[in-house]
Structure 1
Amino acid sequence: MEVARLKSGALLQNSSISEGRMRFIGGLLLIDSGGTLQVVGRFDGTGNFEWSGPWKFDSGDGEIAGNVKLTGDFDLTGQMDVTGGIEILGPGKIKVGNVIIENGRITAGTGAAQVTIDGETGKVTAGDMTMDPTVSGGALTFANGAQVFTDDDTVQLYKGSSVVQVTDSYARLQNGGDVVEINDNGIRMSPGAIPTTPGTGLPVPGVLIQAPNGYVRKSDGT
């Protein structure tokens, strides 16, 4: 009877090992039926560690040495300090508030005040206004077709058939074919910039006068 109880008893139940070691060679340590593996001290291992199911580190500082690969969504609560670079390979998105970095483009804000920086084209768009480095030497364009742009020599404001040009040596105002220019030699006007008015009573043509409506005209000698 004593031998039977010895054979069928749970020999390791409520047992302990002091200053010793338990070794499993080619076997399996299985904890099932709601059991718990509790470690007070250190947990060291060499080899692969695979886990299926939820897991949680409740507290304490941690450190990972080596490469880490995450597959799936990753939620971070708290502050992340990065020493080094962050590189996103392939399609990806970084969103902080209303700022989105995605596919080489940075977008900030919403609606009419939204600002977009396109890393591929170099364009910067703020609402309906676009800064385009590919136009001349760089241009600022507006929704109504107006442009402010520069080339090797000038800065120009352009809308329809009207242009204002500024260089180191002159400032020019032009509408269609009519030009008024200020340079080192004085003021130059194209022939059609000031219309001729007959019947002024001035015997000399080309005299500048101011009409009652405020426009500048020139006499025709009659």
Structure 2
Amino acid sequence: MVVRNLNDSPIERLREVVENRGRENPFESSSIRNGMIRFIGGVLKLEAGALLKGIGTFDWTGPGSIAGDWEVLDGGVIRVGGVLISPVGGGRIMIGQGPVAIIFDGGTGSLTMGDVRIEAGKIYVKDMVLDPAVAGGALTFPNGSRLEADDENNGERLVAGNAVVNVGAVTSIRKGPSSVIVSSDEVTVNAAGGGDITLLGRIVASRADMPTIVDPNVEEGTVRILASGALARTVLERGL
């Protein structure tokens, strides 16, 4: 219980309160002037769920960071968990770190995911390049060979120097001017420049599919080359 002296004057008490307030310096090295709060070497600290909220322009000069779910780093870089947003080079977003990082680069218009990079409509996998603008779509390997679309043949084409392999409606193997071409009803072997065609092992032909010629003076079964270049099997009598 407060014990009051009935002789105390309330005016005197009020004077003491006013004098004490005048001697206090709650802002220390700070000031309020023209609607601006200024702190010199001080700290503005919000605690216990306090909220800093404003409308207008946020202007900050010098390094700083905001702890929590995100932070602003030097150079205007914003980090949100494992994501970095940077204004460097026209803008860049980096997700993760190290060889598995994903980088969106606004300056080059590229997307990089480890060894894979997408840029200018091309896909780079280390030294391999997938380019849809080459031959209807082509994959170029580090050694210079290329796998590309073959629209005319409804298939694909592998090019390595002067060697070309086509797979599609017609399948062919070409080395310079020489070639082996396989279609649905024909096989053409071309040894350019009069070169040799060497067949190793047995050659077996269907008797039913080979035309015959009658010649009793020749051993039956002898294979002849006709004037047309076709092969014919010799028989002793017609109908064999």
TM-score, length of structure 2 as denominator length: 0.49
State how far apart, in whole Å, the 2-side matches of 1:117 and 1:145 are.
20
For 1:46-61, what aligned pairs fall within 5 Å after superposition?
Answer: none
- How big is the shift at 1:141? 0.6
Structure with the higher fraction of residues in strand conformation: 2
Partner of 2:203: none
Aligned residue in 1 for 2:190 = 190
Structure 1 vs Structure 2 CA RMSD: 4.8
Relative to structure 1, the CA distance from residue 160 to residue 50 in structure 2 (aligned partners, 3 Å threshold; closer, same or farther) is closer
Structure holding more helix per residue: 2
The equivalent of 2:164 in structure 1 is 163
Q: How many angstroms apart in 1 are the aligned matches of 2:37 and 2:141?
A: 72
Paired residue type of 1:186: E
The Cα offsets for residues 192-221 of structure 1, whole Å up to 9 and x where unpaired, read as: 386168xxxx9955799xxxxxxxxxxxxx
For 1:144 and 1:38, locate their aligned partners in 2 and report how far apart those are by CA, in whole Å.
63
Equivalent residue number for residue 151 of structure 2: 152
Which amino acid in the other structure matches residue 157 of structure 2? Q
1:126 to 1:13, Cα distance in 2 relative to 1, 3 A: same
2:172 counterpart residue number: 172
Gaps of 5+ in 2: 1-11, 25-31, 199-221, 232-240
Q: Given the two structures, how large is their TM-score scaled by the length of structure 1?
A: 0.52
Q: Which has the larger radius of gyration?
A: 2
How far off is 1:78 after superposition?
3.7
In the TM superposition, structure 1's runs of 4+ consecutive aligned residues that sit over 4 Å from their partners are: 11-14, 26-59, 202-208
The yes-or-no answer on 1:9 pairing with 2:7 is no
Residue of structure 1 in register with 2:235 after alignment? none
- Describe the SS at the equivalent of 2:79: coil
Which one of the candidate residues 55, 76, 81 is aligned to 2:79? 76
Q: Which runs of 5+ in 1 are unaligned?
A: 15-23, 62-69, 81-85, 209-222
Aligned-residue offset at 1:146: 0.6
User: What one-letter code is carried by the residue in structure 2 that aligns with 1:100?
Assistant: I
**1:101 aligned partner:** 104
| SS of 1:135 mapped into structure 2 | coil
Counterparts of 1:73 and 1:12, CA distance in 2: 44
Q: CA deviation at 1:29?
A: 7.4
Spell out the pairing of 1:30-41 with structure 2 (5 A cutoff): none
Q: Distance in 2 between matches of 1:108 and 1:148?
A: 23
**Identical aligned residues as a percent:** 30
**Partners of 2:88 and 2:139 in 1: CA distance:** 32
Q: More relative contact order in 1 or in 2 (CA 8 Å, sep 6+)?
A: 1
